[in-house]
């Protein structure tokens, strides 16, 4: 005869995995904010910019942002230990990102 499945144990295991994935996602988002230099923004500024980005339906803008993000990650993977370059890149990203965010709100 088969051993009965312990559904409660399986459910607890799945809940633990989901909790771990959520924690990892939060940590990675925090690391992304720091590596882009966006941690220099206030929470209100960052939230406002993210809201504008999320509300933008213009496929061209979203594609341009995706290309810029891909270039950021490719450049970072080639030079992982160059902190001055990362700081410069973060500073360049902020001014470039701010007009895009306000331009997106003005274009809507």
pLDDT in tens, 79-93: 444 444 444 444 444
* Global model pTM greater than 0.75: no
Which residue range(s) make up the domain with 18? 7-107
Name the nearest CA neighbour of 100 among 39, 58, 40: 58
Work out the angle at residue 70's Cα, subtended by the Cα atoms of residues 63 and 89, and round it to the nearest 5 degrees. 110
| Number of domains present in the structure of the chain | 1
pLDDT in tens, 33-88: 999 999 999 999 999 999 999 999 999 999 999 999 999 999 875 544 444 444 44
- Assigned domain for 2 exists: no
1 in a structural domain? no
Is 38 within a domain? yes
């Amino acid at each position: 005869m088969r051993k009965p499945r312990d559904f409660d144990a399986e459910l607890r295991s799945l809940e633990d995995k989901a909790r771990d994935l959520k924690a990892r996602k939060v940590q990675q988002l925090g690391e992304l904010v720091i590596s882009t230099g966006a941690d220099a923004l206030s929470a209100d500024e960052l939230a406002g910019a993210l809201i504008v980005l999320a509300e933008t339906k213009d496929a061209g803008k979203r594609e341009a942002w995706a290309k810029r993000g891909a270039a950021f990650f490719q450049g970072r993977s080639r030079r992982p230990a160059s902190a001055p370059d990362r700081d410069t890149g973060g500073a360049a990203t902020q001014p470039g990102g701010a007009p895009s965010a306000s331009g997106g709100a003005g274009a809507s």
